[in-house]
Amino acid sequence: MAGISTHILNASIGQPAPQVVVKLLRQFERSIVTLDVQQTDQDGRIKAFQIDKLVKGNYQLVFEVGSYFEQQHVPSFYPRVCIDFTVTDQHQHYHVPLLISPFSYSTYRGS
C-alpha cells in the first residue's frame, strides 16, 4: 500500500520515542505545504500519514525532538530533525525511520 510512515527509536536508551510531534510537508519550488501533523504512538510509530494521494515530488518530515527530550528531563542539542526525501514512485510505500539521541541522529530508508 502506497504511503508514508515513520518510526522513532531513542538509541540512547534503546526504546521507542512516544508522543513526538511529526509534521509531513510537501515541498514545491516556491512553497512548502503542511500535509499532516501527528504524534508517535507508544511504540514510537506513525503507521500512516493522512494524505489524499501520494504523488511524486519532494517531501520533508519534521520531528520535534527537542520537546521529547525536554519531557524526559534530558538536555539535547537538536530542537528538531528535518528529513528531506523524494518520492519517485507514487505506488510504493516510503518508511522513514529516525534513530535519535540527545546529541546525534541518523536515518535511512526503511521497508
Query: According to the model, what pLDDT value does residue 2 have?
Result: 85
Query: According to the model, what pLDDT value does residue 29 have?
Result: 86
Query: According to the model, what pLDDT value does residue 20 have?
Result: 98
Per the structure, how many domains does the chain have? 1
Whose grid coordinates read 504523488? 55
CATH number at residue 77: 2.60.40.180
Residue-by-residue DSSP string for 8-57:
EEETTTTEE-TT-EEEEEEE-SS-EEEEEEEE--TTSEE-----S---SE
Backbone angles phi, psi at 77, to 5 degrees: -95, -35
- pTM, 2 dp: 0.95
Query: According to the model, what pLDDT value does residue 82 have?
Result: 98
Q: Which domain holds residue 25?
A: 3-107
Q: Decide: 49 and 24 in contact? Cβ < 8 Å.
A: yes
Q: What is the pLDDT along the chain (111 residues), one digit of tens a residue?
A: 789 999 999 999 999 999 999 999 999 989 999 999 999 999 999 999 999 899 999 999 999 999 999 999 999 999 999 999 999 999 999 999 999 999 999 999 998
Query: According to the model, what pLDDT value does residue 1 have?
Result: 75
Q: Decide: 69 and 56 in contact? Cβ < 8 Å.
A: no
Query: According to the model, what pLDDT value does residue 12 have?
Result: 96
